[in-house]
Amino acid sequence: MEFRTAGVIGAGAWGTALAQVTGWAGLDTLLHAREAEVVDSIRDHRVNEAFLPGVTLDDHVKVTGDLADLAGCDVILAVPPAQYMRATLEALAPLHRTGVPVVLCAKGIERGSLKLMTEVLAETLPGAPAAVLSGPSFAGEVARGLPSAVTLACADEILGQALMVALSAPTFRPYLATDLIGAEVGGAIKNVLAIACGISEGRGLGRSAHAALITRGFAEMTRLGVAMGGRPETVAGLCGLGDLVLTCSSPQSRNMSLGLALGQGQTVDEALAGKRSVAEGYESAPAVRQLAAKLGVEMPISEAVASLLNGETTVDAMIGNLLSRPLKVERH
């Protein structure tokens, strides 16, 4: 199994960074952008000034505004925001060739349906070979060639091995897993938890509180992953714990920066104003809360974030409620 061409759908920061990676990997890469200004910027200057300024793209990377141009690609990387994944895959459906794998690179849970991205793929492109790429990776660092490692989850181990090799680059290391559910849950929940860590940072609660939030948040992530059929060892890998640590530890994270603004006293509307890039945790938090309730999984930190974002509580009340919960035995 050999891949020579890659189509990347979604020319935000992460999609552009992944196009850079596939270019470095030697794949002729076609990046699809909805915005005419992005197409023009990359064609004219080899730079996505809107979403990834200062990074010159590899010569293997070309750009298009027409999704139909990706019809001949050997592998598709789907990188829209999670809440737009269904519409993106529906648009791809009439162009998709049987057997062409779709690598899902968005992190989130679909609002309303409470479905993971693999479930959305199964409904929109039945039978399409699926993989999930997720892990601790800031787009700017990846695109500049700084070292990073991610999880590549694929139920078909032979296909997974081929994708792992095809998508690896000198400074970008995919590690293979077969548990797609665990990989997806980790990526979705960590964004919500990063908002909580940002709030703690913005309120000046200290490093001890920060560490406690990451650790107890990881327990929530593991509980939900297992309840959905994932494996705890997957969630403990790059796609879960690894991504959680990164996203909760730097204001480069859109989700942590949102929480930081909330912790410093901004309203949700003020914190979101003027942002071109999506904070996936804001979009996924209501779905995470609903899913936890549906499955009977205790997720107090994630639920508190969802309540705050929905205007049901304040930052101080949220902190007070979490600190006043009944004491309990530590377990995941």
Q: In the block, which residue shows the tokens 């990776």?
A: 137
Rounded Cα–Cα distance for residues 130 and 27 (Å): 19
Q: How far is CA 103 from the centre of its chain?
A: 12
Q: HSE-up of 73 (CA within 13 Å, CB side)?
A: 29
- CB–CB of 8/29 below 8 Å? yes
Is 190 annotated in the active site? Answer: yes
Q: Which candidate, 11, 113, 28, 15, places its Cα nearest to that of 74?
A: 28
CA angle 144, 148, 152 (to 5 degrees): 120
Q: Single out the catalytic residue among 62, 107, 115, 190.
A: 190
Q: Which candidate, 154, 160, 224, 216, places its Cα nearest to that of 186?
A: 224
CA angle 214, 219, 221 (to 5 degrees): 90
Rounded Cα–Cα distance for residues 190 and 184 (Å): 10
Catalytic residue IDs: 190
